[in-house]
Amino acid sequence: MMKLKRIFLALTLLVGFGAFAQEGSDAERECLRMRFLAGEELKINNFAGASTYYLRGEKICGGYDKANYDRLIGSLRNTISEEKDEAKVKAYTDTLLAVYDRAEKATIVGAETYLLRAQYELSSTKPRHDVADNFFVKGMDAAGLKLDEAYVTLYYYNLLVMVNSVAADKKPAMKKRYISEYFRLSKLATDAKMSATTLETLNTYLNYVVKTCDDIVPELKGFMTTLPQDKEAKLSTVNNFIGLLESKNCESSKEYEMLIDTLIKINPGFQTMLVKARLMVSKKRYNEAMEVYRDAKPLAPDAAAQEDIEYEILKMQFAQGSYKAAYGTAMGISGKNKNEALKMAGQCVAQLANSCGTSTVDRKFNYYYASELYARAGVSGKYAGNFPTDGELFDNGYSKGQSVNLSCWGVNVTIR
């Protein structure tokens, strides 16, 4: 039965070839034969064999129409995907790229192939990264927001290779483009709702080139004027940029502050306000920081968070030398920060001791109170060396155990 089938197939081929022989020139008949044989190979999924016949036919036929170029390109792509030998994969890829070029010259294919050609270019025998880059740029422009996100990271990886391999005189311009493209691609990824992995990969690649704040800040400003309008997309982009600047220690830049302000406008809330306040503290703009903290206090999720804000305000008042105000704030703090607040209150009293009292011994009485505040916080003996001596007490008519009033603080202390 199998023998009869083979005989029938052979007769069919002979009949077919006889039909070819009856019409057209030798070249036309050979062109048809190559395409016929390629089709037979496709029937049994022998893509490599089909590719061979289609390539021969292309040469004999003097080129193909769209349908036949599609078959040739499809055969080569399937051959590449099935081939295990790396050297053969590269060789087939080189052939495919050459076919794409010929098909484009014949106006058979165009922009719809650019992204694929960029990808194949990178896996060819001798990758031409500049050629791949050109295909990526044109193909991505054509795809718009419908772009497969895999091409975003592949394109950026190719740029990374170019940055590292370009001639020294061209490196600054290439680096500038690389950074600029990071912001553009980040926005594209956000607008197109691509995965978080894509943004993470872009950040990873960026970090191979961008090492300092001075590298990144000049390119950021322009992109801050083109933030997405959608709230969630805008929030994601701003947070990404903030994280990027923080990773490069750019918190002192005006661009970082602008991003924080933008974040507050987009997503006003307790945590966002804390970020702004801490930024002001880092810049020693304490009055602004305290104002932000006070605005954040009503947004605090619980009493403990409100007390934390009060403690932060206390530290800034003390840093500014506003000891009277700091003392008042410290005495109102409870909870887990109470002991530290009491210590700071004691320091405030000690700092103002020389301005509280009419005589030297009166002023030294303040240290009794400062020591007492430390004792409440669990620290004994603080400021004991500043207490009045027995001689000073005797000379001024005071005795141990006597209670004296400290008008500056509205309290009484006992002479020790």
Bridge partners, residue 412, by sequence: 405
Would you give the DSSP letter of residue 230?
A: S
**DSSP letters for 233-290:** HHHHHHHHHHHHHHHTT-TTSHHHHHHHHHHHHHS-SHHHHHHHHHHHHHTT-HHHHH
* Cβ neighbours for 101, distance < 8 A, ≥ 6 positions apart: none
Predicted pLDDT at 24: 61
Residue 173 pLDDT exceeds 80: yes
- Tracing tokens 């089938």 back to the chain, one arrives at 5
- What are the Cα distances from residue 348, in Å, to 283, 356, 360, 383, 402? 23, 12, 18, 13, 24
Predicted pLDDT at 11: 30
Q: What percent of the chain has pLDDT over 90?
A: 69
CA 321 and chain centroid, separation: 40
Residue 303 is encoded by which pair of tokens?
Answer: 């009493």
Going by pLDDT thresholds of 50, 70 and 90, the confidence category of residue 389 is very high
Residue 61 pLDDT exceeds 80: yes
Predicted pLDDT at 115: 96
Checking DSSP bridges between strand 411-414 and strand 403-406, what pairing results, if any?
antiparallel
State the Cα–Cα distance between residues 407 and 400, nearest whole angstrom.
20
Predicted pLDDT at 246: 86
State the Cα–Cα distance between residues 270 and 18, nearest whole angstrom.
86
Provide the CB-side half-sphere exposure for 368 (13 A, CA).
Answer: 22
Q: Between 219 and 60, whose confidence is greater?
A: 60
Q: Taking the model in full, what pTM does it have? A: 0.64
Q: What is the rounded (10 degree) CA torsion for 147, 151, 156, 160?
A: -160
Region 261-285: what's the mean pLDDT? 88
The answer to whether 209 and 160 have CB atoms below 8 angstroms apart is: yes
Looking at 23-127, list the stretches that DSSP marks H as alpha helix, in order from N- to C-terminal side: 26-43, 47-61, 66-82, 86-105, 114-122
pLDDT tens profile 211-246 = 888 888 887 877 777 787 888 888 888 888 888 888
Averaged pLDDT of the chain: 89
State the Cα–Cα distance between residues 252 and 257, nearest whole angstrom.
8
State the Cα–Cα distance between residues 1 and 289, nearest whole angstrom.
93
Going by pLDDT thresholds of 50, 70 and 90, the confidence category of residue 23 is low
| Domain map (residue ranges) of the chain | 20-109, 112-210, 352-416
* Cβ neighbours for 193, distance < 8 A, ≥ 6 positions apart: 233
Would you give the DSSP letter of residue 415?
A: -
pLDDT tens profile 301-329 = 999 999 999 999 999 999 999 999 999 99
* Cβ neighbours for 18, distance < 8 A, ≥ 6 positions apart: none
